[in-house]
């Protein structure tokens, strides 16, 4: 059985004695650090074992990120230990109620309308938008000190507040040197007090989006990350377990389908959200669903699969649990998933995202599979 990113924190909790089930067999230790390298895909590591020998040789498990394979969803899945059918962060962007209508909400940036839109923290309260307790809150309640080794902007971001929820000591870390210092500050201490740290590094994902996965720029960052992890393995005391994982992998864009240019794709459509590999499509009238689905399927052909919300839920795309009415309403009336290397772009409304060569979100192994690398 393929485990998922939701199993990581459950296994960490089990290693501290909080849970009976420990699917990833994390062994008891005084301290645990979970380091998330944004965009660290298992298939990408395997193809470049020469560039990332430490990461490749210490893969303890390969897990599935979950659908959609995107940062906002995956970080919340990691933190709460449950898929998005439970936590409700159903994609990079999705519809939320607003002034009697619906409006696009970007869950990664916590903005309205687009990634560059107005701050939504006052309009979409993070603690209400994602009401499920996180596993970090469980650790804190068990008298385990919680630490964050993250870029400074994440301390008060909407996504951090929604997903992680637990207060803790923040060690601001933008560079790998700062990341190392923060992790070692957590792990190097005297006494029996147990600590947990969540650490995050964004540059692999950023270079994948800007230059493409497996580009020279991306490979250079991968090599640097691998060297960083190798040094940490040597520098960490035996009382600290380090788990390195990712939130998704990535594919290089091939065929680009311009959703803005095809007027047939907008008939009966109220709003299009999501990202280039997975789109949520919300309709003016649910009664037109079959006609709109047929129009999209006909226009996209083999470039994408078009399914209804009901089919996706019946097939447990968003997790095996039945979502609440609140979560269900966030899922598009139709879900459109790119096939192969196709990207479903919107150059007029998402010009920055449309120009990127690297994307993720869909069902390919390159996007879905992430490693769990361990020093124990």
Mean pLDDT by 10 residues, the chain (376 residues): 95 97 97 98 98 98 98 98 98 94 96 95 95 97 98 95 97 98 97 97 98 98 98 98 98 98 95 98 97 98 98 98 96 98 97 97 98 96
pTM of the model: 0.97
Does one domain contain both 25 and 157?
A: yes
Determine the pLDDT at residue 99: 83
Does one domain contain both 188 and 248?
A: yes
Is the residue at 100 inside a domain? no
Rounded distance between C-alpha atoms, residue 165 and residue 136, angstroms: 7
Is the residue at 295 inside a domain? yes
Contact 8, 198 (CB under 8 A): no
Determine the pLDDT at residue 1: 75
Is the residue at 333 inside a domain? yes
Contacts of 298 (CB under 8 A, 6+ apart): none
Is the residue at 326 inside a domain? yes
Is the residue at 195 inside a domain? yes
CATH number, residue 154: 3.40.720.10
Does one domain contain both 158 and 221?
A: yes
Number of domains in the chain: 2
Does one domain contain both 85 and 212?
A: yes
Exposure pattern of 136-171 as b/e (b: 16+ CB <10 Å)? bbbbbeeebbbbbbbbeebeebbbbbbbbbbebebb
Structure tokens of 83? 């898929």
Is the residue at 271 inside a domain? yes
Determine the pLDDT at residue 246: 98
Rounded distance between C-alpha atoms, residue 307 and residue 322, angstroms: 18
Determine the pLDDT at residue 100: 86
Determine the pLDDT at residue 328: 97
Determine the pLDDT at residue 315: 98
Range of the structural domain that residue 226 is part of: 6-89+130-252+364-374
Determine the pLDDT at residue 265: 96
CATH number, residue 331: 3.30.1360.180
Is the residue at 124 inside a domain? no
Is the residue at 47 inside a domain? yes
Does one domain contain both 238 and 155?
A: yes
Determine the pLDDT at residue 220: 98
Does one domain contain both 169 and 220?
A: yes
Determine the pLDDT at residue 42: 98
Does one domain contain both 64 and 211?
A: yes
Burial category of 49 from C-beta neighbours within 10 Å (exposed 0-12, middle 13-18, buried 19 and up):
middle
């Amino acid at each position: 059985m393929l485990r998922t990113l939701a199993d990581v924190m459950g296994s960490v909790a089990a290693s501290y004695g909080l849970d009976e089930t420990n699917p990833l067999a994390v062994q008891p230790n005084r301290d645990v650090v979970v380091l998330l390298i944004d965009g660290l895909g298992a298939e990408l590591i395997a193809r470049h074992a020469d560039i990332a020998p430490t990461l490749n040789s210490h893969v303890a498990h390969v897990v599935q990120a979950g659908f959609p394979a995107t940062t906002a969803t995956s970080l919340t899945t990691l933190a709460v230990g449950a898929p998005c059918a439970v936590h409700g962060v159903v994609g990079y962007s999705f519809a939320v109620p607003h002034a009697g209508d619906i409006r696009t909400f970007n869950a990664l940036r916590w903005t309205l309308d687009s990634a560059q839109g107005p701050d939504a923290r006052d309009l979409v309260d993070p603690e209400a938008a994602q009401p499920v307790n996180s596993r970090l809150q469980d650790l804190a309640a068990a008298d385990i000190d919680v630490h964050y080794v993250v870029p400074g902007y994440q301390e008060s971001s909407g996504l951090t507040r929604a997903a992680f929820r637990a207060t803790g000591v923040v060690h601001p870390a933008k560079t790998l040197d700062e990341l190392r210092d923060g992790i070692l500050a957590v792990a190097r201490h005297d006494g029996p007090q147990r600590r947990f740290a969540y650490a995050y590094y964004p540059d692999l994902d950023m270079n994948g989006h800007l230059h493409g996965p497996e580009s020279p720029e991306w490979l250079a960052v991968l090599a640097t990350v691998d060297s960083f992890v190798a040094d940490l393995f040597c520098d960490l005391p035996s009382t600290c377990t380090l788990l390195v994982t990712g939130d998704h992998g990535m594919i290089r864009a091939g065929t680009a389908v311009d959703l803005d240019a095809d007027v047939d794709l907008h008939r009966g459509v109220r709003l299009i959200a999501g990202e280039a590999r997975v789109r949520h499509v919300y309709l003016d009238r649910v009664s037109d669903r079959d006609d709109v689905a047929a129009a999209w399927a006909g226009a996209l052909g083999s470039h994408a699969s078009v399914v209804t919300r009901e089919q996706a839920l019946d097939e447990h795309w968003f997790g095996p649990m039945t979502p609440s009415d609140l979560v269900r309403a966030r899922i598009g009336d139709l879900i459109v998933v790119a096939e192969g290397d196709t990207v479903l772009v919107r150059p007029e409304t998402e010009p920055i995202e449309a120009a990127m060569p690297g994307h993720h979100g869909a069902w390919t192994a390159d996007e879905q599979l992430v490693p769990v690398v361990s020093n124990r």
